[in-house]
Amino acid sequence: MSRSFYILAGTLVFFALVSATLALAPSSLQPGLPANASLWRTVAMFLLLFGLASALVGVLTHLFEQVDRRGEEARKAARRRQQEGRKP
Q: Are 61 and 2 in contact (CB under 8 A)?
A: yes
For residue 66, the model assigns a pLDDT of 92
Give this prediction's pTM: 0.74
| Residues in contact with 34: Cβ distance below 8 Å, sequence separation at least 6, in sequence order | 40
Residue-wise pLDDT for 25-77, tens only, equals: 777 766 766 667 788 889 999 999 999 999 999 999 999 999 999 999 999 99
3-class state of residue 80 by DSSP: helix
Q: How far apart are CA 37 and CA 23, in angstroms?
A: 4
CA-nearest of 68, 64, 72 to 80 is 72
Q: Is 32 left (phi over 0), alpha (psi -120 to 50) or beta?
A: left
